[in-house]
Chains A and B, each alone.
Chain A
Amino acid sequence: MNPFEQLSVYFQFPFVRYALIVGVLIALCSSLLGVTLVLKRFSFIGDGLSHVAFGAMAVAAVAGLTNQMIVVLPVTVLAAVLLLQSGSKAKLKGDAAVAMISVSALAIGYLLMNLFPTSSNVAADVCTTLFGSTSILTLSSWEVWLSVGLSVLVVAIFVLFYNKIFAVTFDETYAKATGTKTDLYNLLIAVVIAVVIVLAMNLVGSLLISALIIFPALSAMRIFKNFLAVTVFSAAVSVLAAGVGILLSILFSTPVGPSVVGIDLVVFGICWAIGAITGRRKKA
């Protein structure tokens, strides 16, 4: 059977179609805020939040909730708001606070899962949550609709606030001095990041989320030099990498998350090379 026939067989299963749709939407959302995150030096907040999401998911699992999103989403959003507040007030240095919260959440999550095992194979459960090995293929229809809804919301917010997000990222002091409510937009950015992270946990698991958020932006910034082009290109690259990654993982039975991130890495390599070559030509 050639790969195309094989794929068309797989696509007869609804869960495979769901996985592709949700995966691509998640990739789109997570790439949009990448530029802002990288440039505002917020990359580490994404990483920290994903660990908090892991902790929350462990608590939800131990509590025996079938609908884990109900716990994970609000907890992660709350953590995002708190981290941002601590960053601006700077009583505890931003990065130290993130590191502290993220490792605590990770440790407590794993501890709870071991103390109150909900299945016979704790190691596999943890692995799924951390690397998202199969979660994208086991979504319930409710989770599919929630993911679609949240993705649409994230894209809509990004488009409507695109100009404000640009101004707040490029020069927060200026925006604030001329009457823009920068605190409000920072909060909005943090909440959207939290939502994206909770969504992306299904695709790549909590350890690999940062890759999904920052890789497309970094790739686009190698080649393009204006904000609109960088944003559009990183969204396109992210969607492409997620699509290809998911298809490959189905064909070769590899774990979904690492496959997608692997493709993202390859794309970054290509973009880096293109950027290096065109950059040198310009100088010469």
Chain B
Amino acid sequence: MAQIIATDLVVGYQTPLTPPLDFCIDKGEYWVIIGQNGSGKTTTLKTLLGLIKPYGGSLTMGGGLDKTKLGYLPQQTEVQRDFPASVYEVVLSGCLSKMGLRPFYNKTERQLARDNISKLGLSDLAKRPYRELSGGQQQRVLLARALCATDSLLVLDEPVAGLDPATTDEMYRLVKGLNQEGVTIVMISHDVDQALADCTHVLKLGKETFVGTVEQYEESRTKEEADHESV
């Protein structure tokens, strides 16, 4: 079941950053977006999220997905470093998209927030101030928030940036676990090898773009290397 369908999609602000891209993200797949700095990874992600309009082509959501049903793990912002908020308050704010015009959270939503807090092993920290947590803990809080918003599609923008190796491994394990539960994953990653180990599909941006399954990507890479050696 297709959740996101891109047809001749070109992303960019004033100038196009990518060639026309055609892809279709199905439920349960695990996509990584890779490429050098400046190749348009974040812009592509923002386009997928509807934060900026496509430069060209079209992008549609299907399979019962709309903006209010997706989860998003953004990069951390300056404001959050001194924001007075408890872990519970941050996670609960993930339920906002379910709320519509209702002014307050209901019982189901508060329970969902508590469930996701314990799912990510944050129960002991629930009342702690968010800004006093370590980088890895903060990422888990934001992941719990994203899970309050979705059980179908999760978009992650470099979730391991600035984390130490052990925390990085743990983060990848968490994301992989969510994928195995049936959550579609779309993730930007710098760490190509680690990302390729878990994913099912690759979108590579930059000089040579690639869209396809991870097997096809590995094949094209080995072929490239072989070509190199024969020259």
What residues of chain A have their CB less than 8 Å away from a CB belonging to chain B? 35, 39-41, 159-164, 166-167, 169-171, 173-180, 220-221, 224-230
Query: Inside 8 A of B70's CB, which chain A residues have their CB?
Result: 177-178
Query: Inside 8 A of A226's CB, which chain B residues have their CB?
Result: 84-86, 89, 127, 129
Query: Inside 8 A of B12's CB, which chain A residues have their CB?
Result: none
19 contacts between A and B (CB under 8 A): A41-B79, A166-B85, A167-B96, A169-B79, A170-B93, A171-B74, A171-B77, A173-B51, A173-B77, A174-B74, A177-B49, A177-B70, A178-B67, A179-B68, A225-B84, A225-B131, A225-B132, A227-B84, A230-B84
- A157→B49 CA distance, assembly (Å): 29
Contact with A along B86-109 (1 / 0, CB 8 A): 100110011011010001110000
- A162→B104 CA distance, assembly (Å): 8
Decide: A225 and B129 in contact? CB cutoff 8 A: yes
- Please tell me if B31 contacts chain A, counting CB pairs below 8 Å: no
Task: Summarize A's interface: helix, strand, loop or mixed.
Answer: helix
Distance between B50 CB and nearest chain A CB, rounded to angstroms: 7
- A49→B215 CA distance, assembly (Å): 59
Chain B interface residue bracket vs A: 35 or more
Query: Inside 8 A of A178's CB, which chain B residues have their CB?
Result: 67-68, 70-72, 94, 96-97, 149
Query: Inside 8 A of B13's CB, which chain A residues have their CB?
Result: none
Residue of A nearest to B109 (CB): A163
- A41→B97 CA distance, assembly (Å): 25
- A176→B149 CA distance, assembly (Å): 13
- A179→B84 CA distance, assembly (Å): 24
Distance between A160 CB and nearest chain B CB, rounded to angstroms: 4
Query: Inside 8 A of B94's CB, which chain A residues have their CB?
Result: 178
Query: Inside 8 A of A35's CB, which chain B residues have their CB?
Result: 84
Given contacts A163-B93, A179-B68, contact A40 B79 (CB under 8 A): yes
Decide: B83 and A161 in contact? CB cutoff 8 A: no
Distance between B187 CB and nearest chain A CB, rounded to angstroms: 15
- Please tell me if B225 contacts chain A, counting CB pairs below 8 Å: no
- A221→B83 CA distance, assembly (Å): 9
Distance between B87 CB and nearest chain A CB, rounded to angstroms: 9
Query: Inside 8 A of A163's CB, which chain B residues have their CB?
Result: 93, 96, 99, 103-105
Decide: A166 and B79 in contact? CB cutoff 8 A: no
- A180→B145 CA distance, assembly (Å): 15
Query: Inside 8 A of B96's CB, which chain A residues have their CB?
Result: 163-164, 167, 175, 178, 180
Residue of B nearest to A230 (CB): B84
Decide: B67 and A177 in contact? CB cutoff 8 A: yes
Given contacts A39-B79, A171-B77, A226-B89, contact A177 B84 (CB under 8 A): no
Distance between A36 CB and nearest chain B CB, rounded to angstroms: 10
Additional A-B contact list (10), CB under 8 Å, known A225-B86, A226-B84: A160-B103, A166-B85, A170-B85, A171-B77, A177-B70, A178-B67, A179-B67, A180-B97, A226-B127, A227-B84
- A8→B108 CA distance, assembly (Å): 52
- Please tell me if B229 contacts chain A, counting CB pairs below 8 Å: no
- Please tell me if B66 contacts chain A, counting CB pairs below 8 Å: yes
